[in-house]
């Protein structure tokens, strides 16, 4: 398909689905996120022929939970699968992303690295002597993928740091059960920093393309072994859309990871990286507009991997 035809399709998806934002709400539990404009909507697709985009694809927003896949890739490379999976499991939960429920009633490890408890456990495995040094491993991988320096949104970071009591509770629980080692406050600080990394919708597509090509940057440089990317994209299918992952697998069938600032990063293996943006969220914390656009795009272009 030509780029012009794809562009037409993306424009029509934005026209058709933008108004669905009225069915969702901007996240408010992190006070700074309340400032997001719910009416924004964008989709960007990176393929072998480059970028095609429609709508609000250059507005910066924070990665939030999408950052979980970046840190997971770093930690898998630093520590290896065996050590990572001694701390976090491979199973979907069916619970909301910030749930504490299963930590006590199932096995001690968080069930997977895409829920907050699991992502916090993954953060605790980052190697380094200081928070700055450990965080730098996350930003430098992302900087190589994006071809630019990486920054955080200081306001969002401070806002979550001041109010993220549930995440602190998860972390202290994990400290108690021996899953999390080291200083709890430092680990949650790392987690809040990674959630506050700024990206645009176009850049999400670029990260998606990195996953779609199994770990090769646009420069042609291999940044990670394909086995790590395969593992992470598998988690995106089973847990990337929180407790709507099953519905999304049926309707779109594309590995994807969403974040509460309204981004969704998707990767069609061997073909495309896709980014969507729309800050109004449904009750499960996924962008209403992004969810619909991806399902519709998948149907129109027959992108389901199943």
- For ligand GLN, the binding residue among 21, 46, 97, 235 (CB under 6 A) is 97
Question: Among 157, 191, 199, 257, which one carries the catalytic annotation?
Answer: 191
Question: Among 68, 102, 161, 257, which one carries the catalytic annotation?
Answer: 68
287 in contact with ligand GLN (CB under 6 A): no
The minimum distance between CB 57 and ligand GLN, in angstroms, equals 20
3-state percent helix, strand, coil for the chain, nearest multiple of 5? 55, 15, 35
- For ligand GLN, the binding residue among 118, 279, 285, 290 (CB under 6 A) is 285
- For ligand GLN, the binding residue among 93, 98, 159, 276 (CB under 6 A) is 98
Cα–Cα distance, 291 to 129 (Å, whole number): 39
The packing angle between helices 131-146 and 67-79, to 10°, is 110
First vs last C-alpha separation in the chain: 21
279 in contact with ligand GLN (CB under 6 A): no
Q: Is 191 a catalytic residue?
A: yes
Cα–Cα distance, 100 to 239 (Å, whole number): 16
116 in contact with ligand GLN (CB under 6 A): yes
Q: Binding marks (x or -) toward ligand GLN, 141..180, rule CB under 6 A?
A: -------------------x------x-------------
Closest CA relative to residue 261, chosen from 8, 21, 28, 10: 28
Question: Among 74, 260, 268, 288, which one carries the catalytic annotation?
Answer: 260
Q: Which residue is nearest to ligand GLN (CB)?
A: 65
Q: Is 242 a catalytic residue?
A: yes
For residue 75, the tally of other CB atoms under 10 A from its CB is: 25
- Under the phi-then-psi rule, with left for phi > 0, alpha for psi from -120 to 50, and beta for the rest, what region is 67? alpha
135 in contact with ligand GLN (CB under 6 A): no
Cα–Cα distance, 293 to 301 (Å, whole number): 12
Q: Which is nearer to ligand GLN, 10 or 199 (CB)?
A: 199
195 in contact with ligand GLN (CB under 6 A): yes
Tokens of 295: 């399902």
Closest CA relative to residue 59, chosen from 39, 31, 34, 29: 39
Chain-centroid distance of CA 37 in Å reads 20
Q: Which is nearer to ligand GLN, 126 or 217 (CB)?
A: 126
Total count of residues recorded for the chain = 306
259 in contact with ligand GLN (CB under 6 A): yes
Cα–Cα distance, 136 to 17 (Å, whole number): 38
Q: Is 175 a catalytic residue?
A: no
243 in contact with ligand GLN (CB under 6 A): no
Q: Which is nearer to ligand GLN, 34 or 222 (CB)?
A: 34
Closest CA relative to residue 157, chosen from 55, 32, 56, 258: 32
65 in contact with ligand GLN (CB under 6 A): yes
Q: Is 65 a catalytic residue?
A: yes
Residues making contact with ligand GLN (CB under 6 A): 64-65, 97-98, 116, 160, 167, 195, 259-260, 285
Active site residues: 65, 68, 191, 242, 260
């Amino acid at each position: 398909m030509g780029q012009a035809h794809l562009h037409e399709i993306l424009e029509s998806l934005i026209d058709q689905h933008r108004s669905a934002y009225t069915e969702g709400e901007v996240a408010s539990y992190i006070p700074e996120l309340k400032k997001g404009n719910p009416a924004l909507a964008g989709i960007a697709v990176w393929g072998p022929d480059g970028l095609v985009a429609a709508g609000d694809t250059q507005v910066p927003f924070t990665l939030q939970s999408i950052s979980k896949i970046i840190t997971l890739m770093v930690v898998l490379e630093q520590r290896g699968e065996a050590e990572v999976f001694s701390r976090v499991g491979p199973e979907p939960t069916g619970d909301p992303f910030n749930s504490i429920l299963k930590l006590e009633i199932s096995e001690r490890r968080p069930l997977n690295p895409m829920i907050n408890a699991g992502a916090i456990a993954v953060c605790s495995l980052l190697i380094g002597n200081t928070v700055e040094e450990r965080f730098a491993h996350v930003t430098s991988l992302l900087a190589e993928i994006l071809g630019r320096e990486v920054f955080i949104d200081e306001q969002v970071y401070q806002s979550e740091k001041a109010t993220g009591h549930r995440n602190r509770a998860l972390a202290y629980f994990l400290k108690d059960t021996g899953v999390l080692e080291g200083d709890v406050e430092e680990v949650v600080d790392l987690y809040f920093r990674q959630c506050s990394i700024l990206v645009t919708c176009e850049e999400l597509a670029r990260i998606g393309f990195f996953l779609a090509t199994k770990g090769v940057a646009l420069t042609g440089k291999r940044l990670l072994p394909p086995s790590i990317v395969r593992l992470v994209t598998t988690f995106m299918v089973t847990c990337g859309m929180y407790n709507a992952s099953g519905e999304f697998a049926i309707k779109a069938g594309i590995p994807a990871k969403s974040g509460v600032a309204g981004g969704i990063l998707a990767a069609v293996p061997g073909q495309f990286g896709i980014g969507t943006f729309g800050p109004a969220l449904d009750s499960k914390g996924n962008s209403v507009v992004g969810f619909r656009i991806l399902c519709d795009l998948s149907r129109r272009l027959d992108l389901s991997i199943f």
